[in-house]
Structure 1
Amino acid sequence: MNSKPGASGTRATPTLSVSCRRMTALVELGRLTSNDGFIRCGQGWTTPPSGAGGWPGPKFSPLGPLYAGGVLRSCLTAAAAGVAVYLLYFFGLNDVGLLGPDEPRYAAIGRQMALSGDWVTPRLWGEPWFEKPALLYWMTALGFRAGLGAELAPRLPVALTSLAFLVFFRRRLEREFGCRASWYATAMLATSAGWVAFSHVAVMDLPLAAAFSASLLVSFDWIRTGSRKAAAIAGALLGLAVLAKGLVPVALAAPLVWFGRRKPNALFWYGGAAVLCAAPWYVACAARHGRAFLEEFFWRHHLERFASETIQHVQPFWFYVPVLAAALVPWTPLLVCGFRREHWSDPRRRWLLVCFLFGFVFFSAAINKLPGYLLPLLPAICALLGPAAAEARKLGGAVATGAVLLVLAPWTAAVLPEALRVGLSRAGRPELPLGPLTAVLLLAGLVWWLERSGRRDHAVAALAAGAAAGVLLLKLAAFPVLDREVSVRALWRQIEPRRELVCLEPLHRSWRYGLNYYAVTPLPACEERDLPFRVTQKPGLPAELAPARPSAVPGAGSLLGF
């Protein structure tokens, strides 16, 4: 990856190499599929050696891409990248109604902010709601102000945040570890199961992960050099993370404070910028609501969430070990090459490792655990795995095993709707069709052969493409079922024409919150108003609309399609 010396012994970088670094995000992502892209960006271009009679060939010429059909290749890879980005992060965002108890609540708060113009107090159906800070609500409110629909307004800002961070992540890692390592790390993060999944749901975990991880990477500069500018930028990003999910990123940043303790001026700018960015909303909300905000936000949803069982998300200490393995699929096997002793002579890798391990232990020590809590640690682990994969002597077994793990995509598509409805432990175990298994075995053989034949770039690109295909398969197979059986959107379409005649019997909170979101004004409980139609639900099954007394509503059965 080192550039060759020119006649003067120094590196000369012509315009093509500079333009390579300034390509748009789509072109950059597209070059991942092209080994030529790694060569140009990683090595640069050099002047011809004296007496060599000119350039040795088009591979090292400033016009090399033109000689080898590079213009066409760049156009094709840019187009392929655009399609891949769309399929991974934007395709299907609108195909499933809001899911679970959290998405509809957070989206409803953002919608209320957009309608009321009150950007300080989060309100859930008219009542102050102090569970989380305001960043996601602001993003959702802007989506509604832009005229996006009920699903895109909360989800599209999260997907765009994810993509913007991936572009930043690649560029930042190129500065630190070189082009090939940065591409590997970005491919791993962009196609990992955990990152893709949380890029599709409007919850706080992705904005927190993007802001905190950006702060972590920028902090390399001020820890090394004491740069006040870098410290201020990193601090502002940390402040955004605090606006995304409270004090969690402050705890995760503790190792950075320790590493930068010998740069007191930069550390002051780091902390000061974080406070200036995050404090205005907290101060305004506390001034307006006083003790109610402080007790609910800080005591209940910070201290009790960490140390008390009252939140009811209690999990064992080892919970995040399988969660991490699942979140990194299909790149999980590369963990075996990411933690070698010879890597730790590099202080940047030590910082990343300590930050990851500290965060992992911190989350594991908490009484209450949810899979999304681990998301802020994924960029750090991928930033470690990228350079390790670029430097590893052998990678065939790891990438081939990763390809085999893609068999989980069709299995997940089959089990996901039931798992979301009744829980993974109680969901059925569908049989795996022979076709997907054959496909992943062929892909495993391909990436193993590419690695063994010295084309590691192509092996990594093929595995990333396989992961993207797995995501597409999951969307096509699972999203229609999720929309019909897990989201309330299909049920709401039945209710909407006769909403004034419908009341709710006791429902699982996911269905109740979802119906409240789509109805805007919550539907009444049947115990309060006895109306002709009722929404009922049996344990473990989707809610359904039925006439309260079929004889009292002539034609009710035909109206509902019974």
Structure 2
Amino acid sequence: MLKTNRSRETWMFWILAVLVLGAGLGLRDPWPADEPRFALVAKHMIESGEWLFPHRGAELYSDKPPTFMWLQALAYSLFGNWRVAFLLPSLLAALGTLWCVVDLGKRLWTRRVGLYAGYALLFALQFTYQAKKAQIDPTVMFWITLANYGLIRHFLRGPDWRMWTLAWFAAGVGTITKGVGVLALLMLVPAIFATSRGWAGARVHRRDWRLLLGPLALVVAMSLWLVPMVTVALHHPDPAYRAYLEDILFRQTAGRYTRSWDHPHPPWYFIGVMLAMWLPPLLALPWALPAWKRRLQRRDARYLLPLAWWVLVVLFFSFPHGKRDVYIMPALPMACLALAPLLPGIVRKLWARRLALGFALAFTVAMTGAGLAMLLGHTGFVDKLIGERGLQRDAAPFGWMLLAMGAGGLGSLLWFGLRRPIAVLLSTLTFIWVLYGLVAYPLLNPSSSASGLMAEIDGRLAPDAQLGLVAWKEQILLMSRRPAMTFGFKVPIGEQLRRGVAWQRQAPRQRWLLVQEPAMSKCIDRSKVMLGGRSNRRIWWLVPATAVVPGCVVTDSELQDTDGD
């Protein structure tokens, strides 16, 4: 009977994880900021057969290595559906990260601790939110966590040379997924410290020749992409390939760290991120901090390794001027792992239970209030949200969805009662995330993905009409219903417009330009253009050849480059 109950608890966790993370798969297209970019690159790989060098439109895309886009393209090759393929790598990476944490908790402590670690990670706001997006960060988090998994098993339950080799290989794959993958190897620092100070259970095994298997595995993993890419780029006749090589190896890695050019934040920025986005697990912090101190004083390396690595990662990303909240997300699994053994005791404390219940009630009240405000339409915030997201037709369903989320929280409270606040909290968050995937995805998709805009544009044009994009964004090209001509992406919008006008002049009766508002030059007669639509807070215009003023010259000084996504 005991074994049956344990098995049921484990299966319940995994069913819940798939439900929370997978709800909505296949119900939406890529949304900005990054999703359309990666999906567009993956789509180009499928259509062109060029997998080694990513392309955004006709240009080489050197901002990120291609590993994540390979996974999306591979998923499309298997399932033949982009709505599934673009999100599938993030879903599988999140489930893989959960498995690493649950299994480590079980091996280092008990099966119950492993499940506590899994629940803490599954319902951490940043983890769930990012796992339901098609960005690179959930995937690189998996590779880093897998590397941590192998290193901790080797250091604390070893020697285990297969785990040691796996860890370095995972760090290498993480590095060619996003350059920070190698940060997993910072786990060596607390491991060496613990061994040198005689902490119980920590062993580094310095004099074994099999240590070399780790660095070798790292090199092999990174070489899977770096060697063929560097070889082809150095021998390619097009200088753009050498520029790609220099940009991705230097500017996008060391250059981005030492001379950040975007997302400026103060050094303490990540403290706020953790206190806000790592809830609800970090609600336990007031009780966890003194408990961690006592266990570290007892020289328990099971706590030192994940805690020290967490601190090292946060410190690493705190030095550069540019910071994003997702930078420290790979530290979240180790934070949950270190917290898990303490949670069985913490959740029995009166104020911890009150905090959990208060957190659930706050979400319930917020969702209910937002839903009522949207249905009644009495606030400027709601009007702004509806206008920006293009929800004029779908405002009522969206309001009802928010009310349903609030009702789910209220139902959880009535079902579980005040004596089971943790169950109330988890079920409330489950309702919210499932409804977000199943209902919000279809409601927001037409405006957020630009699919609605491009469907309307396609319906306005004749079947044989050709479309050119000026000052375009990735979602516009990705969602285009017909082949579209582009005139560069990083090219200044004035030059894009000049090229577009020259292209249109070659077949004026058939060719149209879709122009974003910032590129609407004085050389375009606004009385002869059509409003294409609004999408992602941007205005787009359909420009026929007759709207271009004859003899007028587009100048860069009158135009401003478009903003970010």
TM-score tier (shorter): 0.7 to 0.9
- Equivalent position of 1:111 in the other structure: 43
**What is the alpha-carbon distance in structure 2 between the residues aligned to residue 120 and residue 272 of structure 1?**
23
Would the aligned equivalents of 1:158 and 1:199 in 2 still touch at CA under 8 Å? yes
Pairs within 5 Å for 1:360-439? 360-392=314-346, 394=349, 395-407=352-364
Q: How does 1:74-153 map to 2 (within 5 A)?
A: 82=15, 84-153=16-85
Aligned residue runs from structure 1 range 168-247, under 5 A: 168-224=100-156, 225-246=158-179
SS across alignment from 1:146: helix
- 1:313 and 1:369 in contact (8 A); partners too: yes
Structure 1 residues 321 and 155, CA gap change in structure 2 (3 angstroms): same
Q: CA offsets per residue over residues 182-231 of structure 1, 9 Å max, x none?
A: 11211121122211222222221011001101211221122233332220
What is the DSSP-based 3-state SS (H/G/I as helix, E as strand, rest coil) of the residue aligned with 2:62? coil
CA distance in 2, matches of 1:416, 1:158: 31
One-letter identity of the residue aligned with 1:296 = D
In structure 1, the residue matched to 2:465 is 501
One-letter amino acid of the structure 2 residue matched with residue 277 of structure 1: A
Do residues 282 (structure 1) and 226 (structure 2) align?
Answer: yes
Residue 516 of structure 1: aligned partner: 477
TM-score normalised by the chain length of structure 1: 0.72
CA separation in 2, counterparts of 1:151 and 1:437?
28
1:533 & 1:292 partners in 2: Cα distance?
A: 33
Distance 1:462 1:193 in 2: 16
Distance 1:550 1:541 in 2: 27
**Partner Cα distance (2:288, 2:100) in 1:** 22
Q: Deviations over 1:353-372 (max 9, x none)?
A: 11111111111222222222
Letter of the 1:362 counterpart: F
Offset of residue 439 of structure 1: 6.7
In 2, are the aligned partners of 1:121 and 1:128 still within 8 Å (CA)?
yes
Q: How does 1:153-168 map to 2 (within 5 A)?
A: 153-168=85-100
| Aligned equivalent of 1:5 | none
Q: Which amino acid aligns with 2:278?
A: L
CA shift at 1:472, angstroms?
2.6
Q: Secondary structure at the match of 2:537?
A: coil
Q: 1:416 to 1:356 in 2, by over 3 A?
A: farther
Structure 1 residues 541 and 254, CA gap change in structure 2 (3 angstroms): closer
Question: Residues 466 and 483 of structure 2 are in contact (CA less than 8 Å); yes or no, is this contact kept in structure 1?
Answer: no
Relative distance call for 1:431 and 1:334 in structure 2 (3 A) is farther
- Structure 2 residue runs of 5 or longer lacking an equivalent are 194-203, 235-241, 375-380, 390-397, 487-496, 519-535, 549-565
Give me the whole-angstrom Cα distance separating, in 2, the residues matched to 1:416 and 1:343: 49
8 A contact 2:468–2:511 mirrored in 1: no
Residue 199 to residue 439, structure 1, CA distance change in 2 (3 Å): closer
Q: Shift of residue 387 of structure 1?
A: 1.5
> 1:331·1:399 contact (CA, 8 Å) conserved in 2?
no
1:450 matches 2:419: yes
RMSD of equivalent CA atoms: 3.7
The letter of the residue matching 1:403 is: A
Q: Is the 8 A contact 1:239 1:277 kept in 2?
A: yes
Pair 1:263-2:220 in alignment? no
Deviation of 1:542 (Å): 4.1
Cα distance between partner residues in 1 of 2:432 and 2:233: 47
Deviation of 1:97 after TM superposition, in Å, equals: 2.1
Cα distance in structure 2, aligned partners of 1:294 and 1:339: 45
2:263 touches 2:322 (CA, 8 Å); kept in 1?
Answer: yes
Q: Which amino acid counterpart does residue 317 of structure 2 have in structure 1?
A: F
Helix, strand or coil at the partner of 1:406: helix
Mapped to 2, the partners of 1:159 and 1:358 lie a distance apart of: 27
- TM-score (norm: length of structure 2): 0.72
397-406 or 414-423: bigger deviation: 414-423
In 1, the alpha carbon distance for the partners of 2:33 and 2:429 equals: 28
Q: Secondary structure at the match of 1:470?
A: helix
Q: How many residues align?
A: 466
Deviations 1:326-366 (A, max 9, x none): 32233331222332222323211111111111111111222
Deviation of 1:319 after TM superposition, in Å, equals 2.1
Partner of 1:328: 278
- Selected match of 1:356 from 310, 318, 321: 310
Give 1:454-493 correspondences, 5 Å limit: 459-475=421-437, 478-493=440-455
Query: Percentage identity across aligned positions?
Result: 20
Cα contact 2:409–2:427 (8 A) shared by 1: no
